[in-house]
Amino acid sequence: MTVLKRLWLRLSVDAKVKTFAAFVILVILLSAFFSLFTMHYSMDGYSEILEDNRRCQNFMKSMEDESTAFENYISGRSETDRKVLDDAILNTRVAMEALPDDIHTLGEERYAKTWNIKNSYANYVVLRDHLLDPATTRQELAGNITKLYHMQKYLEQYSRRLLQLSVENGSVRYLKKLPTFKIFPFILMNFTLIMLLCIFRFSRMMTEAIVVPVKQLSVEARRIADADFHGEDVVIENRDEIDDLVRTFNAMKHATEDSINTMKENHRMTELLQKEQMENMEMEKRLNANRLELLKSQINPHFLFNTLNMIGSMATLEEADTTETMTRCLASLFRYNLSTKEQIVPLAQELKVAEDYMYLQKMRFGSRVSYEVERPEDISALRIPSFTMQPLVENAIVHGINKKEQGGHVRVTIRCTEDDRLLLDIADDGVGMPQSQLEKLQGDLSARELGRVGIGLGNIYLRIQAIYQGKGSLTVQSEEGKGTTIHIDLPRT
């Protein structure tokens, strides 16, 4: 590995990007400088040649214009012709003064021609001005006009020769540079090729340092998303932020793999523990059933029911209707609790037991307690777990309304949804419970801590979970000072 490559790999991503941008800018500047140099070299001296030619041609034309204007003025002697002549004389003088006169630039021959022109022009100016002087007689004008014309022709011929020499000199200078001009395209092509190769190499280094590691991370990430942690770690030569990202990614991959393995092991242990808990619950259920059978064997149900019926009959004879109704409701409750063995019973049967219980509570609390049931007209086909409605209504009375001085209202709502779900809401407007107590209750239900929840509510929750295998639910909503609602969601059976 070269020193340059080691330095490149140690640069940060930001430094790499800036270095690449600086290199591209440098290539652009070098290209622009080379183009400007080529242009300057090509135009160097060429503009001077053109300027010399332009000055010579300008003097030649100005001299011709002055000759024509002088001849017109001599013939007509009008003010217009004189004005045209004065303008031509001024242009000729300016053009003559603009002629180059540096011997080092012109060379001996061109310099000699220029010197001859300027001397001849000075003599010409003296004679021209004398002839244009109003004091000049006609004899002097006639005797010198031909000489002036000869001097004009002489200056025009010399200006043409000077122009010819300037053009020839420019051609010689251009031919000297022509070989260099021919190799400029090859130099430019080689320079462009070298710069393109440099940029390509730089781009490849950028790709290897940034793009390739990111692609490797992307491939490995997709592998991990498919729960495959057996791929090899991503390894790069960088020592920058990409290297930090790769190292962190590899560490996270191994940590995630360890976490998933730990979760799998915990899940396996949890399943074993739940299985053990279910076995314990089943044993507890059998024990409770045995205890109940023992209680039944100790108390003769027929004796109890007959006694309650006899009390009801006596109340009828004595016209004590309320006592009779209370006795029969109590007998119905005992009969249901002692004789019902099914886990799933008709909903109508559960509602009848709840109504009997509420009748007894109304006798106890009077107008402080009211009870309402909202249900579909036909509920004969609906069934729910046994011992569900009466314990929940009892909870509403004992824990909600009984603690409220002015009493309250219990409302039972039964609904059937289009997706064959049976929804039951048992709501009261009692004292409710604080948010912290509600969260604790919900946590205890989820954790199945029945001792903290209460036997009635906890038993119903567990039986719903066991009977419907997770397809049924019991949730609690409550707000302090406004009441509590128990929501039951069951498959419609």
In a domain, 378, yes or no: yes
Are 318 and 346 members of one domain?
no
The encoded tokens of residue 28 equal: 């652009």
Cβ(329)–Cβ(359) below 8 Å: yes
In a domain, 366, yes or no: yes
In a domain, 235, yes or no: no
In a domain, 377, yes or no: yes
Are 348 and 318 members of one domain?
no
- The percent helix, strand, coil of the chain (3-state, each to 5) is 75, 10, 15
Are 39 and 165 members of one domain?
yes
Give the distance from CA 205 to its chain's centroid: 28
Burial class (CB in 10 A: 0-12, 13-18, 19+), 130: middle
How many domains does the chain fold into?
Answer: 3
Count the residues in the chain: 493
Are 370 and 392 members of one domain?
yes
Q: Can you tell me the distance from the alpha carbon of 337 to that of 350, in angstroms, rounded to the nearest whole number?
A: 11
Are 365 and 333 members of one domain?
no
Check whether 435 has a pLDDT greater than 60. yes
In a domain, 259, yes or no: no
Burial class (CB in 10 A: 0-12, 13-18, 19+), 484: buried
In a domain, 276, yes or no: no
Check whether 239 has a pLDDT greater than 50. yes
Q: Can you tell me the distance from the alpha carbon of 454 to that of 484, in angstroms, rounded to the nearest whole number?
A: 16
Are 310 and 376 members of one domain?
no
Cβ(409)–Cβ(393) below 8 Å: no
Residue 42 CB partners (closer than 8 Å, separation 6+): 177, 181, 184
Amino acid, single-letter form, for residue 65: D
Are 166 and 309 members of one domain?
no
Indicate the residue among 190, 211, 232 that finishes a domain.
Answer: 211
Are 329 and 396 members of one domain?
no
Are 365 and 439 members of one domain?
yes
Q: Residue 415: its pLDDT value, please? A: 93
Which ranges in 382-485 belong to alpha helices (H)?
Answer: 389-395, 435-447, 450-453, 455-468
Question: Please, what is the end-to-end C-alpha distance for the chain in angstroms?
Answer: 76
Are 150 and 102 members of one domain?
yes
Check whether 141 has a pLDDT greater than 60. yes
The encoded tokens of residue 186 equal: 């090859």
Residue 21 CB partners (closer than 8 Å, separation 6+): none
Q: Residue 487: its pLDDT value, please? A: 96
- Mean pLDDT for 162-188 is 73
In a domain, 234, yes or no: no
- Mean pLDDT for 110-114 is 76
The encoded tokens of residue 120 equal: 């001849």
CA dihedral angle for residue 148, residue 152, residue 153, residue 155, rounded to 10 degrees? 130
Q: What is the DSSP string of 106-120?
A: H-HHHHHHHHHHHHH
pLDDT tens, position by position, 23-36: 888 888 887 887 77
In a domain, 293, yes or no: no
Residue 50 CB partners (closer than 8 Å, separation 6+): 170
Burial class (CB in 10 A: 0-12, 13-18, 19+), 61: middle
Q: Can you tell me the distance from the alpha carbon of 283 to that of 289, in angstroms, rounded to the nearest whole number?
A: 10
Report the share of the chain in percent with pLDDT over 70: 79
Are 405 and 323 members of one domain?
no
pLDDT tens, position by position, 124-139: 888 888 888 877 777 7
pLDDT tens, position by position, 414-431: 999 989 899 999 999 999
The encoded tokens of residue 444 equal: 């205890």
Give the domain CATH number at 473: 3.30.565.10
Q: Can you tell me the distance from the alpha carbon of 351 to that of 353, in angstroms, rounded to the nearest whole number?
A: 5
Cβ(66)–Cβ(132) below 8 Å: no
Q: SS3 for 27?
A: helix
Q: Residue 453: its pLDDT value, please? A: 64
Cβ(484)–Cβ(410) below 8 Å: no
Q: Domain range holding 325?
A: 299-339
pTM attached to this predicted model = 0.40
Indicate the residue among 339, 356, 389 that finishes a domain.
Answer: 339
Summary mean pLDDT of the chain: 78
Burial class (CB in 10 A: 0-12, 13-18, 19+), 488: buried
Indicate the residue among 184, 211, 238 that finishes a domain.
Answer: 211
Are 460 and 406 members of one domain?
yes
